[in-house]
């Protein structure tokens, strides 16, 4: 039996947003590997072994998946959202680079998914309609000084921004520091969007001006978007629509 490994994105939460390509890979797989809550989203069936692990063992998880694929198993490593956006695809390739040369001969595919920032943006309109950037606010794998520098430079360049991993129990102060940097660097009332558990039954969307944003508005299930200075708010009955124009002045 010829083994293979697919790194797949399960989307933001709604099963309807899992792509047909990912569903087909899961239907053929002998093994699903990933962080526990994500593996739980993969339907159990005969012939499929589900391997759940903790959130901070990405390299161990990737090595286990590669070992099983090398042994002839058909393995899907699952991430939420898109596997290439702060998720498992890079972890698999880090381990592949350091691992046995034979692993490079494996059939390895990355299957894209809808990442949280795109699902959140769609809920409120098109706040990422012009140039934007995505920044992971966790300092587990990079120093806070680098995060702060990127925040300041992105604000100086007037990007709309998407923030992943804004606040956790282990890092309650990080998002407060990020908000301080953004208020100082932006100096205006551009909209900040808090999208928690987007596309799930627990979804909650909140839009506030940057000066009114508070750290407790975010947790690890929240993706946060910040408009640029050009982002517009269209009032209408019910929730407003937000969009960033496709053009910028000279």
For residue 6, what pLDDT is reported? 98
* One domain for residues 127 and 110: no
* One domain for residues 144 and 195: yes
Domain holding 135, by residue range, is 117-243
For residue 173, what pLDDT is reported? 84
For residue 83, what pLDDT is reported? 97
Task: Look at residue 184 and tell me whether its pLDDT is greater than 90.
Answer: yes
Work out the pLDDT band at 102, boundaries 50, 70, 90. Answer: very high
Work out the pLDDT band at 250, boundaries 50, 70, 90. Answer: confident
Structure tokens at 201: 């039954």
* One domain for residues 53 and 163: no
With vertex at residue 116, the alpha carbon angle to CA 114 and CA 121, rounded to the nearest 5 degrees, is 95
* One domain for residues 179 and 205: yes
Task: Look at residue 171 and tell me whether its pLDDT is greater than 90.
Answer: no
Work out the pLDDT band at 101, boundaries 50, 70, 90. Answer: very high
Task: Find the length of the chain.
Answer: 250
Provide CB contacts within 8 A for 33, sequence distance 6+: 39, 51, 53, 61, 64, 65, 68, 75, 76, 77, 78
Total domain count, the chain: 2
* One domain for residues 47 and 95: yes
For residue 2, what pLDDT is reported? 84
* One domain for residues 124 and 239: yes
CATH number at residue 192: 3.30.950.10
Task: Look at residue 239 and tell me whether its pLDDT is greater than 70.
Answer: yes
Contact 5, 92 (CB under 8 A): yes
Task: Look at residue 56 and tell me whether its pLDDT is greater than 60.
Answer: yes
Where a domain ends, among 83, 114, 145?
114
* One domain for residues 206 and 236: yes
Q: Strand, helix or coil at 198?
A: coil
* One domain for residues 84 and 123: no
Task: Look at residue 108 and tell me whether its pLDDT is greater than 80.
Answer: yes
pLDDT in tens, 199-238: 999 999 999 999 999 999 999 899 999 999 999 999 999 9
* One domain for residues 125 and 231: yes
For residue 1, what pLDDT is reported? 55
Mean pLDDT computed over 95-122: 97
Contact 68, 103 (CB under 8 A): no
| Domain assignment of residue 249, yes or no | no
| Domain assignment of residue 248, yes or no | no
Q: Give the CB-side neighbour count of residue 92, counting CA atoms within 13 A.
A: 30
* One domain for residues 103 and 204: no
Least confident of 18-27, 98-107, 163-172, 186-195: 163-172
């Amino acid at each position: 039996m010829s083994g293979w490994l697919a790194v797949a994105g399960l989307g933001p939460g709604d099963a309807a947003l899992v792509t047909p390509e990912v569903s087909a890979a899961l239907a053929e797989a002998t093994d699903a590997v990933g962080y526990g809550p994500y593996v739980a989203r993969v339907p159990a069936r005969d012939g499929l072994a589900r391997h759940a692990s903790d959130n901070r063992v990405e390299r161990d998880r990737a090595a286990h998946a590669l070992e099983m694929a090398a042994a002839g198993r058909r393995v899907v490593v699952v991430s939420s959202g898109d596997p290439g956006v702060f998720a498992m695809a890079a972890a698999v390739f880090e381990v592949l680079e350091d691992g046995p040369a034979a692993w490079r001969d494996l059939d390895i595919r990355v299957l894209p998914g809808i990442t949280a920032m795109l699902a959140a943006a769609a809920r409120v309109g098109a706040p990422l309609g012009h140039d934007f950037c995505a920044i992971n606010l966790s300092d587990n794998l990079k120093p806070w000084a680098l995060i702060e520098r990127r925040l300041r430079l992105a604000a100086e360049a007037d990007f709309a921004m998407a923030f992943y991993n804004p606040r956790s129990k282990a890092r309650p102060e990080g998002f407060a520091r990020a908000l301080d940097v953004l208020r100082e660097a932006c100096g205006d009332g551009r909209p900040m969007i808090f999208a928690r558990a987007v596309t799930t039954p627990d979804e909650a969307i909140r839009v506030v001006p940057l000066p009114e944003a508070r750290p407790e508005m975010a947790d690890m299930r929240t993706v946060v978007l910040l408009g640029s200075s050009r982002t517009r708010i269209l009032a209408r009955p019910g929730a407003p629509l937000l969009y960033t124009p496709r053009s910028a002045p000279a």
